[in-house]
Amino acid sequence: MARFTEAQQAQLDALRLSYRAELPAKLGLIGGVVDSLDAGGGEKAHLEELCDLIHKLAGSAAIYGFGAISRAAGDIETWALQALDGGLSDHGRRQLSALMRALREAFSASEIR
């Protein structure tokens, strides 16, 4: 494992802190798309938007060391891709609700170490 100088570690910590501060806005955007899916209409467009947003979150959260958030976002991405292929059922909506809860819980449990 690479060792960082004290200055590098401080920079990394600052970046992680800044990223974490941006997470509520990212989760808000994702939540808005999920709300739009729940409201109905434009299903394919909303699923595509969800795929885009959640894919970015899964990748960036991993880069910044927020593994639980990345995994929860990855689960939502998998769900969204399947929904794009097979449509959105009532059961699928319940699954998405549970996946979103898991994402919010991962965020709540995240902290800078």
What pLDDT, in 10s, does the model give residues 31-82? Answer: 999 999 988 767 999 999 999 999 999 999 999 999 999 999 999 999 999 9
Q: What is the mean pLDDT of the chain?
A: 93
Identify the burial level of 72 via C-beta atoms within 10 angstroms of its C-beta, where 0-12 means exposed, 13-18 middle and 19 or more buried.
buried
What pLDDT, on the 0 to 100 scale, is given for residue 1?
59
pTM of this prediction? 0.90
Rounded percentage of the chain residues whose pLDDT exceeds 70: 96
What pLDDT, on the 0 to 100 scale, is given for residue 54?
98
What pLDDT, on the 0 to 100 scale, is given for residue 111?
74
Q: How far is CA 27 from the centre of its chain?
A: 7
What pLDDT, on the 0 to 100 scale, is given for residue 42?
73
80 closest CA partner among 34, 57, 47: 47
Report how far residue 57's alpha carbon sits from residue 30's, in angstroms, rounded to the nearest whole number. Answer: 9
What pLDDT, on the 0 to 100 scale, is given for residue 39?
86
Q: Is the pLDDT of residue 104 over 80?
A: yes
Task: Specify the range with the lowest mean pLDDT, choosing from 7-16, 65-74, 86-95.
Answer: 86-95
Q: Is the pLDDT of residue 113 over 60?
A: no
